[in-house]
Amino acid sequence: MSLTIVGVMTGTSCDSLDATAVKFSAGGFEQLWSRSAPYPASLRSRVLELQSSRARTTLRELLGLHRELGEWYGRTLRRWCARGVDAVANHGQTVAHFPPISTLQLGEAASIARHTGLTVVSDFRWGDIAAGGQGAPLVPAFHREIYTRMAGEGDSIAIHNLGGISNLTYLCRGKDPLAWDTGPANLWMDAIIRHRSNGKLQFDRGGRIARRGRVHAATRDRLLENPFFSKKPPKSTGRDDFPESFAIGATRRLPMEDALATACSATARSIATEYRRHILARGLPLSTIYFCGGGARNPTLLELVHLEFLELGWLVDIRTTSSLGIDPQSMEATAFAFLGHRALRGEPMGGAWTGAAANAPGAKITPGRNWARLLRKLPAL
């Protein structure tokens, strides 16, 4: 008996819809396929506008966007989810995150269920928020599962996601996972290049433009003055703490190459500083960091992170999750398929790292036409 769940992720960068089909059985799980679809320009601009400092969105417009995103998810997934798929686990598009008060992900689950005929798991973060947690990061539950399968005795690693926002999971034998958001990853760089190119470019592919630039130290330090960086874990963040206008304004007098180099350097330094303060300062060992997300395809950023660690006198092996057999781009979609499986079994989404109470409710479930058939499978899994 097996259960196949398609995990779906559209991250803070609003660059694409990433989907991964994962088959779960009594013996574990395996990836079946991964696919991506570009974010429609009209939807992307409305999502980004909604989160801008000048936003003047009405409730009618917000709810309309919620429905249209759900329709886009549903139509896209209908093409991919052939027979054999049992459920969709959709994270949704985050447009607000104010931990521990509230969070909001758009993309109506009922629309996805209608288009695909499948049961949909959604709204993953609210149960953790309701139990006093940050609602993020949630993927450490999946990272811990990977670690139990790959690490030898004494191994100490981190799995680090570089999406719009950067978050890490620290894993060591005999210790509970540590996990938190470290601040922006691609968010600053994407905002600058989108602004400078008048929307013609959405990101600096491979960090090629940033590589040609010169880091402006004073501007980098200004970017790092955000009070989020002084907080202790558990902590999570989003565009609400780091509006695009701030990065654009802070770098406005610099040539585009220098602005991108400076933002890239600020991201690398913020990441290394979080490891120094909350792992190295505690005397915890760390041998390897496995990066995933869109930023893992930016060698300029990874090289700068490596240099920051060398300046700390800390020899850490920098890799991507390809070394673990998982495509860096599909890691989060795979993680939400895993969390969808947990939700269908009534398990919580987060863990102690979010600060939530032990009895945190799970995600929400919208039954599809296949609900009765799915229920027959669940007891064995």
Q: Which of 21, 18, 31 is nearest to 76 (CA)?
A: 18
Domain coordinates of the chain in residue numbers? 2-135+333-380, 140-328
Q: What does the alpha-carbon distance between residue 318 and residue 331 come to, in Å, rounded to a whole number?
A: 17
Query: Which CATH entry fits the domain spanning 2-135+333-380: 3.10.20.30, 3.30.420.40, 3.40.720.10, 3.40.50.980?
Result: 3.30.420.40
Query: Each residue of 260-278: pLDDT tens digit?
Result: 999 999 999 999 999 999 9
Mean pLDDT of the chain: 94
- Residue 238, pLDDT score: 93
Cβ(340)–Cβ(378) under 8 Å?
no
Query: Each residue of 215-249: pLDDT tens digit?
Result: 999 999 999 999 999 999 999 999 999 999 999 99
- Residue 105, pLDDT score: 97
- Residue 71, pLDDT score: 98
* 140-328 under CATH 3.30.360.10, yes or no: no
Tell how far CA 156 is from the center of its chain.
22
Reported pTM: 0.94
Q: Which of 44, 46, 61 is nearest to 10 (CA)?
A: 44
Identical fold between 2-135+333-380 and 140-328: yes
Report percent pLDDT > 70 for the chain.
98
Instruction: With a cut of 60, say whether residue 154 has pLDDT above it.
Output: no
Q: What does the alpha-carbon distance between residue 235 and residue 135 come to, in Å, rounded to a whole number?
A: 9
pLDDT (mean) for 196-203: 93
Query: Each residue of 78-137: pLDDT tens digit?
Result: 999 978 999 999 999 999 999 999 999 999 999 999 999 999 999 999 999 999 999 999
